[in-house]
Amino acid sequence: MVEQFLRTLMRTTDVVVTGLFSPAAVAAVGLADLYARLPLRIGLGLGSGVIALSSQDTGSGATANRDEAITQAILIGAVAGLPFVLFGVLFGRWAIAILGAETDVARMGGLYLAVIFATSPARHVTLVAARSIQGAGDTRTPMYVNGVSNTLNIVGTLVLGLGLGPAPRLHILGVGIATAFGNVFSAVVLAGAIWGPWTPAGFVRPRQWTITRQLLAISAPRIAEGLVTTAIEFPFNSILLVFGTEVNAGYQIGRRVYQQLTGPLSRGYRTGTSIVVGQTLGDGDPAGARYDGWAAAALGVLTVGSLGVVLFVGAEPLVSLFTDDPETLSAAAGFARAYALAAPVTALYIVLAGALTSGSDTRTPFVARVTGMFVGMLGVSAVGGIALGYGVPAVYASIVVYYVWATCYVVLGYYRGGWVDRTQAMMDERGSTPGED
């Protein structure tokens, strides 16, 4: 949770600093962030696969299989980041303009995108390495490394973005450079920690295609989930732009306030649940794994739901920290309250999705999230907001509908329990079941 708080604070700092420039700058970073989520989703997808195998094999004592899964995932992640480097350099500005952004927004967003895409391989390595170490039971090392990295990133954003001290005022370019530096720093240090004696994990020469196949089988639905949901964000942002740049900026700010307040807890619970459920399954205790998932979900609903109440009541003063534009403030407060209403079910979805992932089931969260976004974010916002003329309030409602839909589907999938048998079958196949040689 500490690690996630610092990472979210870093992104929040980016929005605050760009908010000092103009609403157009906020929109530029927000639209560029849509594309930046593509390598993020691939890294998180591979991270989901490796944390499942790493936690299961740690629980069963199959450390050789664990280290091979870690090595393969990091290599795949580094290679998968290379196409994004070329895309950012060649098509960055065009990618922002095609969304319907104004010329100035496209120029700033394209520049920012080119800089951060240049370190996509490093971003993948960071995400995969962190989850590899976490799956082995060490959540402190990633916290320390990413904590230092995110702190340097925050300082770099303030210094280079605003031109503090002797540094030049680089505006959005400075924000992008700070992010790129943080990505490279984390990747190098985390890979070094795995290579050395500082973590339970380690590198080995890859030899088993069974592990490769299982890693990709678990990761693929998670990657597809991230890519499809990111793709859905594009038409959703285009719908927001129909109502104006200020509404789009308000969405970016409202969502950022929600993520800063509740995201660290939700993501921390998801990671912790993935580790505990995965290791319990690896130890041959499916009943204990089921209980751990439900207990973590209850804790998430209680704590994150309480923060949702705080966000709903304090929406206006919180979003006012990011901008003083009246129209942007009004939209941002509305989006923050929409996310606040959805906070309890969102926590339930995130935690149980983490439990399913450690149980080798990434398909159920994939279907839940994609269908929820189609029905909720796109369907309700397009039909209610534009076709029926209800405007921005329909977009607020679409966020709540999306998370309620996705949560109901995930709860049903976790309750049915097919993920337990799937995990056992995959452990048997790769020779990680306790008692096997």
CB-CB neighbours of 82 under 10 Å: 11
The residue-averaged pLDDT of 366-382 equals 92
pTM of the full predicted structure?
0.79
Rounded percentage of the chain residues whose pLDDT exceeds 90: 50
CA distance 290 to 306: 25
Question: Which pLDDT belongs to residue 296?
Answer: 95
pLDDT at residue 415 tops 90: yes
pLDDT of 32 strictly over 90: no
State the average pLDDT over residues 9-29: 79
Residue 313 has pLDDT above 90, yes or no: yes
Select the more confidently predicted residue: 207 or 83. 83
- What average pLDDT does range 103-129 have in this prediction? 92
Which has the closest alpha carbon to 81: 48, 112, 126?
126
Chain mean pLDDT for the chain = 89
Q: Choose among 186, 157, 183, 185: nearest CA to 172.
A: 157
Show Cβ contacts of residue 206 under 8 Å, excluding neighbours closer than 6 positions: 68, 71, 72, 75, 212
pLDDT tens digits for 183-240? 999 999 999 999 998 899 999 988 889 999 999 999 999 889 888 887 888 888 888 8
Average pLDDT over residues 305-330: 89
- Mean pLDDT over 336-358 rounds to 94
Percent of the chain residues past pLDDT 70, beyond the cut: 99
Domain ranges of the chain: 2-430
When pLDDT is cut at 50, 70 and 90, the band that residue 435 belongs to is low
Q: Which residue has the higher pLDDT, 339 or 99?
A: 339
Neighbours of 162 (CB within 10 A): 17
pLDDT greater at residue 316 or residue 37: 316
Q: What is the pLDDT of residue 413?
A: 94
Give the integer Cα–Cα distance in Å for 46 and 304: 26
**Over the stretch 55-79, which tens digit does the pLDDT of each residue have?**
999 988 888 999 999 999 999 999 9
Ranges of beta strands (E only) in 61-171 are: none
- Indicate the SS3 state at residue 99: coil
Angle formed at CA 162 by CA 156 and CA 165, multiple of 5 degrees: 80
In angstroms, rounded to a whole number, what is the distance separating the alpha carbons of residues 17 and 256? 13
Q: The tokens of 82 are what?
A: 């290379």
Q: What confidence category does residue 280 fall into, taking pLDDT thresholds of 50, 70 and 90?
A: very high
Residue 264, pLDDT > 50, answer yes
Q: Tell me how far apart the alpha carbons of residues 359 and 364 are, in angstroms, rounded to a whole number.
A: 11
Res. 85: pLDDT tops 70? yes
- Residue 274 CA to residue 56 CA, distance in Å, equals 10
Q: Percent helix, strand, coil in the chain (nearest 5)?
A: 85, 0, 15
Whether residue 436 has pLDDT greater than 80: no
Better pLDDT: 287 or 435: 287
